[in-house]
Amino acid sequence: MLTAPEAVPRPTAPAPPPPARRPARRSVLATARPYLLIAPTLVGTAFLLLYPLARNILMSFQHFRMAELIHGGASFVGLANYTQVLSDPDFWTVVRRTLWWTALNTALIMLFGTLIALMLARLGRWMRFAVMSGLVLTWATPVIAATTIFQWLFQSRFGVVNWSLDKLGFSSFRDYAWFAHSGSTFFILVALVVWQSVPFAALTLYGGLTTIPAELYEAARLDGAGAWQTFRLVTFPVLRPLFALVTSLEVIWCFKCFAQIWVISQGGPGDATTTLPVYAFQIAQSLHKYDLGSAVSTLTVLILAGALVFNLRRMFRQEGEAL
């Protein structure tokens, strides 16, 4: 007996996916929360940095002396202060001295910082830890404390430097007055600034060295490259941006250096160690010509900004050519 074939069930179409839930609209408070968190920092930065800068620029266009400081009512004089400063030959002498001071210190800092960074990469674990600890302690020493120590070291009658040189047979340095001569004072200040700045450069560059793949050095050794060729062809090209960044930071540090010079020599003897920050302070505080001091400090910022822009543009151009 024939039976009717069983009905084949028809496939059912898949159920459509549920409609995507629209994200809940963020409240105004949730949107503004990140900005509220950084608002105290921005307000503090504006108060501590932007307001003094704006006030200094405004004062440089005014006649602002002791009478205006006490009674107020400073009058605008336009570019008269800048004209007076730029027409003063002493200003250009100080500018040249500041550029020479910055270039010398930056070159020595980068030289010793690079050598110490390369040395750290070759030291053993415990010796590296000891050297890095010494660098960190040097870097953490307050500026005034380090400056006072250098004053003691080079003191004419009881300083360790004169005593050591005398014991080594250099009797001409017995009771030698280091701070009475322009050349020796300049040398001490350079040594102080370099000593304080090398730790930052060395530790930063050493951190960069640890990121270079070992295969690059192995390939250089197989090709017969020496130490200098390896640094010139491998280390420096890889760390070029880091070298440019550290150099820019050291230029800023050396260019605006004030505390060490003022504590040790106050720009003397004569004007041998007077740089632009010291020159601006001398005009404003010693002569009470706050308008001219503000003009000098504003020009100092402009010169430094111009040098940094030139350095950064060159760095970006080199990076573009490398790519």
- 84, amino acid identity: Q
Higher pLDDT, 45 or 111: 111
pLDDT of residue 1: 46
Q: How many CA atoms lie within 13 A of 300 on its CB side?
A: 28
C-alpha span between 305 and 91 (Å, rounded):
18
CB 233 within 8 A of CB 282: no
Task: Decide if 299 is inside a domain.
Answer: yes
Q: From 305, 309, 313, select the one nearest 256 (Cα to Cα).
A: 305
Range of the domain at 239: 75-322
CATH of the domain at 285: 1.10.3720.10
Does residue 30 fall inside a structural domain? no
In a domain, 279, yes or no: yes
Region label for 65, one of left (φ > 0), alpha (ψ between -120 and 50) or beta (otherwise): beta
pLDDT over 70 percentage in the chain: 90
Q: Which residue has the higher pLDDT, 153 or 11?
A: 153
Burial annotation 86-105 (CB, 10 A radius, 16+ → b, else e): eeeeebeebbebbeebbeeb
DSSP-derived secondary structure for 219-241: HHHHTT--HHHHIIIIIHHHTHH
Q: What is the mean pLDDT of the chain?
A: 85
Average pLDDT estimate for 48-61? 87
Quick check: is 64 in a domain?
no
Per-residue pLDDT at 312 exceeds 90: no
Rounded (10°) angle between helices 125-140 and 182-209 = 130
Q: What is the pLDDT of residues 228-279, one digit of tens each?
A: 888 888 888 888 888 988 998 999 999 989 999 999 988 888 888 999 999 9
Q: What is the pLDDT of residue 17?
A: 62
| Alpha helix stretches (DSSP H) within the chain | 28-45, 51-59, 66-71, 80-86, 89-122, 125-140, 143-153, 160-167, 182-209, 214-222, 227-230, 236-238, 240-255, 259-264, 276-281, 290-322
Mean pLDDT of 218-231: 84
Q: Mean pLDDT over residues 143-154, rounded?
A: 91
Segment 161-178 shows an average pLDDT of 86
- Domains in the chain, number: 1
Task: Output the pLDDT for position 2.
Answer: 47
Is 38 a member of any domain? no
The whole-number pLDDT of residue 320 equals 65
In a domain, 208, yes or no: yes
* % of residues, the chain, pLDDT over 90: 36
Enumerate the β-bridge partners of residue 26: none
Whether residue 233 lies inside any domain: the answer is yes
Please indicate, yes or no, if residue 145 is contained in any of the structural domains: yes
